Chains A and B, each alone.
Chain A
Amino acid sequence: MASNIVEINNLSFGFKGRLLHQGINMTFPRGKVVAIMGGSGSGKTTLLRLIGGQLRPSKGEVRVDGKVVHEQDRDGIYQLRRTMGMLFQHGALFTDLSVFDNVAFPMRELTDLPESMIRDLVLMKLNAVGLRGAHQLMPTELSGGMARRVALARAVALDPNIIMYDEPFAGLDPISMGVICALIRSLNDALGATSIIVSHDVKETFLIADYVYFVANGEVAAEGTPHDLMQSTLPFVHQFVHGEKDGPVPFHYPATNYQSELLNQRFN
């Protein structure tokens, strides 16, 4: 068994004539929590979609469990996805199903388990995220943090080998953020899975990640353990980690000369 469950080799991906990634290399060892960080629009979520086979790379490859994802046919990709779980940014719960039915959904769709066993498994998963008591609620009755926890229970419903998190901390209050943070680490360790977190929340991500990749301008700008990156003197990493307003990532969107633009407006 290879030590890396996911490998991204020399990957390039373009969309509508714009090259989003070029020559990206990443490895995700089994049992670890690995984070992909970078500014908004840097293509972090796209990397998750490439790993899940929802997008096809322009160049290079993504290997999951030794298999090249984009070379798989539909059945092959679905087989790979059965070993993955994904937490979407806003949970993506099915709004016409209750909390219980949302968590039961992958079990009912992908397995032949009897309903009594599904019931027990769903309650166990919900108990793990602290929402067993909310199993009869509908998604519209949940707070953002609760919805994210239900989605997490659904993502781990079939005990996946790889769990992907797309901005798991975005828009949460500090308590919910702490809960999600602890859950990601504890579920990863309890299931012996590999977690891939896409986030721009430095504090929470550094708390639970074993290894971090920084993506900027379509490339891996830096990588290392959270401790290494906190000490990094690379200008981009320093600006990002310490939340500085200006730096390699400019405060201003590229524009023409301010003074001449104002004068032009006056004369026009």
Chain B
Amino acid sequence: MIKSNLFVGIMQLLGGMGHRMIARVWRLGAGARLFFLTITYSGESFRRFHLTLREIYFTGVMSLLIIVVSAFFVGMVLALQGYNTLQKYGSSEAIGVLVALSLVRELGPVVTALLFAGRAGTAITAEIGLMKTTEQLSAMEMMAVNPIARVVAPRFWAGVISMPILAALFSMVGVLGGYLVAVPLIGVDDGAFWSQMQANVDVRVDIINGVIKSVVFGVACTMIALFEGFDAPPTAEGVSHATTRTVVISSLTVLGLDFVLTSFMLVV
């Protein structure tokens, strides 16, 4: 009797795992399908660029405050921590390089993507989820207007365009924050701060790679947000769960992709 109960329990556990795995694979396939459809129906986003511009305002411009303020503090903390370590080795003048490389290569794209997922990604998911719940997407379909071309694609390209610009701004403001702590506050030489940075930050290796990362993160974060909204069950609870999933999946994807991209970039 105990043996048979144990067997049934194990079978149920395996069955449950199988169901969850199938559901995950199904969602992955549905997400990939939405991505390809978005690319296919992207023509309208460029023909009627005002639709994309409007979304750039909501996702990019409206994210500026959180990006700029965060970048400023991240840069200042980097300078403080960097100086604390570098001075032990007598190379406190290298603080400018440390701040710039940390920001341009890693923190700029990654932190921007994480903040973007929290600020713009959740907004995109909630908006599309609610459009689905209130039958706005169905209404569009019934009017012979393709919701992927009209709603999804402009938001996708807005995210992809906004992310590298936001990441560049993040790095720029971060460097400024680092400068304010390192030079006026700590007393590192002004010339050394900038000249070392200029000598050691490479456009191709550092800046272009950072831009590539932010474009990839832009595609990933925006697509995850769009898919979660599009796939959300049309209930208040469904939209709430979808919004949470957007932040969790985007954050993990960004960190995972960062490792993969960094590995490739260091090898190449």
Query: A: which residues have CB within 8 A of B?
Result: 52, 54, 77-79, 81-82, 84, 86, 88-90, 92-95, 105-106, 109-110
Contacts and interface: CB of A to CB of B under 8 A. Distances in A.
Among the interface residues B141, B142, B146, which one has the most CB atoms of the partner chain A within 10 A?
B142
B144 A94 contact: no
Interface string B14-33: 00000000000000000000
Contacts of B139: 86, 88, 92, 94
A82 B143 CA distance: 6
B124 to A, nearest CB: 13
Contact of B134 (A81, A92, A105): A92
Interface of B: 130, 134-136, 138-139, 141-146, 150
Contact of B136 (A77, A84, A86, A92): A92
Contacts of A78: 144, 146
A54 B138 contact: yes
5 closest cross-chain pairs (CB), A and B:
A92-B139, A92-B135, A78-B144, A81-B144, A86-B142
B135 A88 contact: yes
Contact of A90 (B134, B142, B144): B134
B144 A54 contact: no
Contacts of B144: 77-79, 81-82, 110
Contacts of B135: 88-90, 92
A164 to B, nearest CB: 8
Contacts of A89: 135
Contacts of A105: 143, 145
A4 B136 CA distance: 30
Nearest to A75: B144
B136 A110 contact: no
A93 to B, nearest CB: 8
